[in-house]
Chains A and B, each alone.
Chain A
Amino acid sequence: MNPLDSILGTIVTGLILSVVLVFLAKAIAGV
């Protein structure tokens, strides 16, 4: 099942990606 098929799955995917990218941003910026 593709999580993007449901609105809830889409929002959860966006939130998980946000958390991952915050860690990436912190690593890149060295903060």
Chain B
Amino acid sequence: MDILMHLDRWLHLVAGVMWIGLLYYFNFVQVPAMAEAGADSDGPGPAAIGKYVAPRALFWFRWAALATWLSGAYYLWAAPYYSLHGAFTLGIGLNNVQLTSIGLGAWLGTVMLLNVWGIIWPNQKKVLGLKPATDEEKATAKRLAFLASRTNTALSIPMLLFMHASVRGLPF
């Protein structure tokens, strides 16, 4: 099933670009734009972003995250030069830097997926009014979702490094 493995790796990259692309959109574009829109008393305000843009972006963001993780796990299982078990045990005792690298990338990606589905999405539902919450609960939810999103942005930097390093080697 070589062709399946190649298609799966392709899917992993496409879904991963969508996931991390939207993550960077949130952190580099939407969060500062919402803050500026909220502070601009003469402007149209952030409501339209919250109503029309954020729910759509979050929809593709969370499902792309799941697709990325599942296709990555399948790839680790199917590729003859990787091993699902070996990657998640970081290649300890195997003296295989490729496996250790992809394992670190896989763990970082796993933590990021859990952040998306366990922290960001449940809290964003409160922030966007998709789930009932008091103003105080909304403020806490906003901070938690923000910090989990920023954590994922930070984790994406070593995650991408290790994914690439498993093929081309560590940078130093």
A7-B27, A13-B154, A18-B161 as given contacts; A29 in contact with B171, CB under 8 Å: no
Residue of chain B at shortest CB distance from A13: B154
- Residues on B with C-beta less than 8 A from A7 are 27-28
In whole angstroms, what is the CA distance A15 to B153 when docked?
11
In whole angstroms, what is the CA distance A31 to B161 when docked?
17
Q: Is B49 an interface residue (CB 8 A)?
A: no
- Residues on B with C-beta less than 8 A from A31 are 95, 97, 170
Q: Which residues, 82 to 98 on B, are CB-close (under 8 Å) to A?
A: 90-92, 95-97
Quick check: B154 and A4 within 8 Å, CB to CB? Answer: yes
Quick check: A28 and B92 within 8 Å, CB to CB? Answer: yes
Q: Could you tell me how many residues of chain A have their Cβ less than 8 Å away from some Cβ of chain B?
A: 20
Q: Could you tell me how many residues of chain B have their Cβ less than 8 Å away from some Cβ of chain A?
A: 27
Quick check: A2 and B147 within 8 Å, CB to CB? Answer: yes
Q: Is B172 an interface residue (CB 8 A)?
A: yes
Q: Is B140 an interface residue (CB 8 A)?
A: no
Q: Is A1 an interface residue (CB 8 A)?
A: no
Q: Is B100 an interface residue (CB 8 A)?
A: yes
Quick check: B150 and A24 within 8 Å, CB to CB? Answer: no
In whole angstroms, what is the CA distance A13 to B152 when docked?
11
What is the distance, in angstroms, from A9's C-beta to the closest C-beta of chain B?
9
Quick check: A17 and B147 within 8 Å, CB to CB? Answer: no
Quick check: A22 and B157 within 8 Å, CB to CB? Answer: no
A29-B96, A29-B97 as given contacts; A18 in contact with B158, CB under 8 Å: yes
Q: Which of A10, A18, A30 contacts B150 (CB 8 A)?
A: A10
Binding site for A on B (CB under 8 A): 27-28, 90-92, 95-97, 99-101, 104, 147, 150-151, 153-158, 161-162, 165, 170-172
- Sample 17 A-B pairs with CB under 8 A, ordered by A number: A4-B150, A10-B150, A14-B155, A15-B157, A17-B154, A22-B165, A22-B170, A22-B171, A25-B162, A25-B165, A26-B170, A28-B100, A29-B96, A29-B97, A30-B95, A31-B95, A31-B97
